[in-house]
Every structure is written in C-alpha cells, then in structure tokens.
Amino acid sequence: MTDITKLMRPHLVKVATYHGVDPSEELARSAGIRPEEVIRLNANENPYGAPQQVVDALSGLSIHLYPDPEQRKLRAKLAEYTGQPVGRVMAGAGGDEIIDLLLRLFTEPGQKLIDCEPTFGMYSFCARIADAPVIMVPRNDDWSIDLDGVLAAIDDQTRLIFLASPNNPTGNLLTEAEARTLLDTGLVLAVDETYYEFCGKTLCGLLDEYENLVILRSFSKWAGIAGLRVGYCIGSETLIRHLMDIKQPYNINVAAEAAAIAALDNREAVLERAQTLVEQRKRLEKTLAGLDGVSFWPSEGNFLLCRFEGRSAKDVYEGLGKRGIFVRLFSTDRLKDSLRISAGTPEQTDRLIAAVKEVLNG
Ligand SMILES: Cc1ncc(COP(=O)(O)O)c(C=O)c1O
C-alpha cells in the first residue's frame, strides 16, 4: 500500500495545527450542562449577535448563484466606511483568509515572518503552512513590542512583520512611532486592527505614506457575524490588485456579503452593541480591581487579560468551566497564570463575576 504521507509536502505532514474554539454543544458536554447554559467568553465573539436588520438581510438571497468575484457592492461599502478608494480595499473570508493570502503573496518557502508573542496564533500558523520560518521576538514585560529586537531580527530573508493593534490577548496598541520605524525598514508591515471598533484607534492615516503597510480588519467581533466569516484589508492599490488576483474567486459567499453590507448600512445599531461590550469590559475591570488574587492589563479590545496570583490559571479556568463559563487558557509558560476573558452581556458579566468570586474563595 502507498504511504500517502510520503506524497505530501514534508513540512505539512507534521504541521502544528491551529485549534479553534469548540462549538457550544461540545463545551456543554464537557461541563455536563445544556448548550443554552454555556457562556462563551473564550473567542472574543459578540454575544449580542448582529442586529435584526443584518439577520433580515439573510433572507431571500439568490443562493443558487455564485457571489460576485469582484466583491463590487461590498468593496464600495467598505470604501465608504473606511474613507479609502475602492481600489484600496478587499474582503476575505475572515481576517484569517487575508493573513493566509499575505503569506502566499509575499513569501517563498524559507522566507521569513516576524511575530511578537504573545499574540494571535494565526500569523505563525499561516506561516507554517506557507513554509515560512517564524522569527519570534517576544514582547516586553509590559507587552509593548521589543522594537530593537525586531530590527535586529531582520535579515535578507525577512519579508513580513505581523502586529495586532489592539493585540490579542494583551489588549495594547502598536504606536504610530513604532509602526513608522518598522515601515521604514521597507518590509511589509501587516497591522491587524480586528478590534478597531472597540477603541477607534487606527493607523490608516499612514497608508498614503507607505506602500508596504497593510491593515487588516474583521466583521467577526464588533459586527457579530463571526460565523459568516468576513474580514477585509486596506492597502495600496497595487497590493490590493495582487491580493484580488490570487484569492479564491468566490471567497465571500452571498450570505456573508449580504450580512456585511447590512452591517455597514446599519452601522449605528451595530456599533451601539460594540459599545455595550466596552462598557461591560469596564464594569468587569472595576469589579476585578476590588478582588484579591487577580489583576488585569489595560485593554483596548472587547476582552481582558487577567492574571491570577497564588492559584494556577488552569484551576480558575476549570472552576469557571464547571459553572458553564468558558474563557481562554494559554499553554505558554509566560501566560500560565493568565486567562483572557471576553466581554459579555450584562447578565453574562454578572454570572462571570459571581463565578470568579466563588472560585477565588473556594
Ligand atoms: C487579532 C486577531 N486577528 C484576526 C482574527 C480573526 O478574525 P476573523 O474571524 O475575521 O478571521 C482574530 C480572531 O480572534 C484576532 O483576534
């Protein structure tokens, strides 16, 4: 019998895969509760979902027809929303697809990406798939990037630098000065602004000056349509044209397209929900600040990176899980005492706070 793995690309046979979040049914099974009782605070989703106008846009679609490969309507809306020319925007099946496309476009096997952990795992995952070595430059103790370390790590095989702002899971921003220093190296700097709508801070203003800047965004978090997979990027017309050339022709399905357009058409209602999550994050901060044994980092996103003292994060994670509350646990040494907790609805925040108190006192 043929060993089929011998026919595969060697670097993919043993690739360290990316583990996404489990569906609520699985989480419920692990906690011995019903799926409706699960509180998902582990993926920075928007627990409110999208407003009714967005849900309504999903009915009556021509699902027997292919979507527009040029994304004309969606790109026109994105251009209007971002204040950029249409030629500077394109949509992907989530920000995730854009990350993958950037690695495909810019790296040949062996060409490198610089990544600054702790951060979002898809940059290094997509690099592994592309056979692009990841040069990891750990963040400083306050989670700012180690700028000198990044500059020192660059060699003639380096092609891309990925930085999230706000960063997931640490919640802090990349400064304009840091971005300029990195852009001045001439490498491609991908600034991931997936959490932009929770802080309103963007580096889009640098796009006119730097052709090597690309900004990533998402509809998953603020717009509450993570399940439909829509993200987008903003970059130079040349970059966008080449990304459009290599993307799958029908990467944005008709439901995703309709929902994203409706979210932009009804952005006030959508942004209001995002704002509620910011308020809940602040409420959580206030309560946690009054508790012994837990601290948190300032966050510009819809989540908080919390640190527990005198107790392993795994214990707290399990204690919350038993109560139906799922948060994000990390396997790295640096975050072994930390959990990332997404902002929820007021009721979810109430249950979370009660559960944290029980677990810490238990
Ligand atoms: C920093 C960051 N970038 C990108 C994504 C992916 O977003 P999308 O759902 O649009 O693929 C996430 C999701 O958690 C994220 O945290």
pLDDT at 286: 97
Pocket test for ligand 1, best of 221, 228, 305 (most atoms within 8 A of CB): 221
Regarding beta strands 213-218 and 158-164, do their DSSP bridges make them parallel or antiparallel, or are they unpaired? Answer: unpaired
Do 157 and 79 lie in a common domain? yes
Do 311 and 291 lie in a common domain? yes
310 alpha carbon – ligand 1 mean position (Å): 32
Domain that holds residue 261: 52-267
Tell me the per-residue pLDDT of 224-248, one tens digit each, with 9 for 90 and over.
Answer: 999 999 999 999 999 999 999 999 9
Do 187 and 230 lie in a common domain? yes
Do 222 and 76 lie in a common domain? yes
Confidence grade of residue 311 (pLDDT, cut at 50, 70, 90): confident
Average pLDDT over residues 298-322: 95
Which residue puts its alpha carbon closest to atom 12 of ligand 1?
A: 194
194 alpha carbon – ligand 1 mean position (Å): 6
pLDDT at 76: 98
Average pLDDT over residues 207-222: 98
Tell me the per-residue pLDDT of 328-344, one tens digit each, with 9 for 90 and over.
Answer: 999 999 999 999 999 99
Ligand 1: residues with CB < 6 A are 44, 94-96, 120, 164, 168, 192, 194, 218, 220, 226, 231
Q: Is the pLDDT of residue 302 over 90?
A: yes
289 alpha carbon – ligand 1 mean position (Å): 28
Say if residues 291 and 284 touch (Cβ distance below 8 Å): no
Do 339 and 321 lie in a common domain? yes
Counting from 1 in the atom list of ligand 1, the atom nearest the Cα of 99 is 4
Do 155 and 169 lie in a common domain? yes
CATH number assigned to the domain comprising residue 350: 3.90.1150.10
Pocket test for ligand 1, best of 40, 120, 252 (most atoms within 8 A of CB): 120
Q: Is the pLDDT of residue 296 over 90?
A: yes
Q: What is the mean pLDDT of the chain?
A: 97
Do 23 and 69 lie in a common domain? no
288 alpha carbon – ligand 1 mean position (Å): 26
Do 247 and 289 lie in a common domain? no
Domain boundary among 267, 285, 302: 267
Domain boundary among 232, 251, 267: 267
Q: What's the structural domain count of the chain?
A: 2
Residue 216 and residue 91: Cα distance in Å, rounded? Answer: 10
CATH number assigned to the domain comprising residue 170: 3.40.640.10
The percent of residues in the chain predicted with pLDDT above 70, rounded, is: 100
Do 63 and 124 lie in a common domain? yes
The DSSP bridge partners found for residue 342 are 303
What pTM did the predictor assign?
0.97
Tell me the per-residue pLDDT of 269-284, one tens digit each, with 9 for 90 and over.
Answer: 999 999 999 999 999 9
Residue 357 and residue 362: Cα distance in Å, rounded? Answer: 8
Average pLDDT over residues 239-261: 98
The first and second tokens of residue 277, run together, are 């999550």
Q: Is the pLDDT of residue 75 over 90?
A: yes
Average pLDDT over residues 286-294: 94
Which residue puts its alpha carbon closest to atom 5 of ligand 1?
A: 95
47 alpha carbon – ligand 1 mean position (Å): 16
Give the per-residue SS3 of 3-58: CHHHHCCHHHHCCCCCCCCCCHHHHHHHHCCCHHHCEECCCCCCCCCCCHHHHHCC
Confidence grade of residue 206 (pLDDT, cut at 50, 70, 90): very high
Do 207 and 67 lie in a common domain? yes
Tell me the per-residue pLDDT of 11-63, one tens digit each, with 9 for 90 and over.
Answer: 999 999 999 999 999 999 988 999 999 999 999 999 999 999 999 999 999 99
Residue 64 and residue 19: Cα distance in Å, rounded? Answer: 32
pLDDT at 252: 98
Do 148 and 21 lie in a common domain? no
Q: Tell whether the torsion through CA atoms of 59, 65, 68 and 69 is positive or negative.
A: positive
pLDDT at 98: 98
Tell me the per-residue pLDDT of 107-159, one tens digit each, with 9 for 90 and over.
Answer: 999 999 999 999 999 999 999 999 999 999 999 999 999 999 999 999 999 99
Domain boundary among 267, 297, 317: 267
Do 30 and 94 lie in a common domain? no
91 alpha carbon – ligand 1 mean position (Å): 14
The first and second tokens of residue 230, run together, are 């829509």
pLDDT at 277: 97
Structural Rg of the chain based on CA atoms: 21
Q: Is the pLDDT of residue 310 over 90?
A: no
Identity of the residue numbered 148: D
